[in-house]
Amino acid sequence: MNEQVRRQPDGCRHALNEAYDTALLDLDGVVYAGGQAIAHAVASLTTARDGGMHLAYVTNNAARTPQAVAGQLSVFGLPTGAEDVITSAQAVARLISEQVPAGARVLAIGGEGLLVALRERGLEPVTSADDDPAAVVQGFDPALDWTRLAEAAYAVQRGVPWFASNTDLTIPKERGIAPGNGALVEAVRIAAGGSPQVAGKPQPPMHRETVLRTGARRPLVIGDRLDTDIEGATNGGVDSLLVLTGVTTPAALLAAPPPHRPAYVDADLRGLLTPQPAVTADGDGFRCGGWRAGASGDTLAVTGEGEPLDGLRALCAAAWTAAGDGSCAADAGKALARIGM
């Protein structure tokens, strides 16, 4: 992604599924929330795939195996093979295998997805800090209990190298936002000190794993989180689409620092099938569709009418330009209300 795209949203004259060969899709908050598909996701992805776009699903959730994730997607109506699913468990297993002897024991605090990924790398998962592990790794597991977290803390206190599949503090579920693996990693850090090596988004090991497994030549990262999906795309030097179906709010998007600024923003995955309108400079402001936005002092203002998303795109350009290399601290409440967001 070039610097201009990071600073202000740019347009795309072709539908995104035609402009990019591979969609690197986050799952939670993009395709589904908990056990329910997000509105318009299945139909949009089916159309993109039928048009020749390769769909790859890239998730920081290390609890389930690629086979299990592919099975869920297939039930939703998205026929998917395990080879089309890339997890942070796979990325962290590769990272560990590059730093410990072949066949080494690894204290694994996580679900089946993490255990399978470790075994695929020739590593032996163990359950106790007293099993002489060469490394300790944490991955999300909804059934995790205090005893297993304590084993991780004991191992880290003894100086065992510490790894984490990802450090997402939250995870979207059908009933709301729940604690993610990062919250569990933080519990171990409080007890043992230090910090783990992290493999998942936005860190480079996840991008490397994705490229190795998909062979994407012109990928588009699609996600709902600024600090994982969008930052991961920035770190990998590729374009990104933020969808507003997960944790990121319009206000948070306007306040995003440069690494968290997507090339495109849309309400949901229907945005994958349409051209993205350009945001153009207009005097001391920016215009998109029927809206014109500008920054004056500590306040963002918008005039005009039209699609709310066009207003948001114009506001992003104004806010990010005013902020320069930092996050925007301007008051955007009235401007967002004006465009209906």
Cite the active site residues: 26, 28
Question: Cβ contacts of residue 307 below 8 Å, gap of 6+?
Answer: 289, 290
Give the type of residue at 248: T
Give the type of residue at 35: G
Distance CA(267)–CA(339), nearest Å, equals: 14
The dihedral built from the CA positions of residue 195, 197, 199 and 202, taken in this order, carries a sign that is: positive
Give the type of residue at 7: R
Distance CA(186)–CA(167), nearest Å, equals: 9
Phi-psi label, residue 124: left if phi above 0, alpha if psi -120 to 50, beta otherwise = beta
Question: Cβ contacts of residue 91 below 8 Å, gap of 6+?
Answer: 165, 199, 200, 205, 206, 208, 209
Distance CA(154)–CA(143), nearest Å, equals: 20
Q: Which of 255, 205, 263 is nearest to 230 (CA)?
A: 263
Query: Which residue is it, tokens 């690894």?
Result: 106
Q: Which of 8, 5, 1 is nearest to 293 (CA)?
A: 8
Q: Are 316 and 291 in contact (CB under 8 A)?
A: no
Strands, DSSP E only, in the chain?
22-25, 32-33, 36-37, 54-59, 85-87, 105-109, 124-126, 135-138, 162-164, 170-173, 176-179, 197-198, 219-223, 239-243, 264-266, 280-282, 285-288, 291-296, 299-304
Distance CA(234)–CA(249), nearest Å, equals: 19
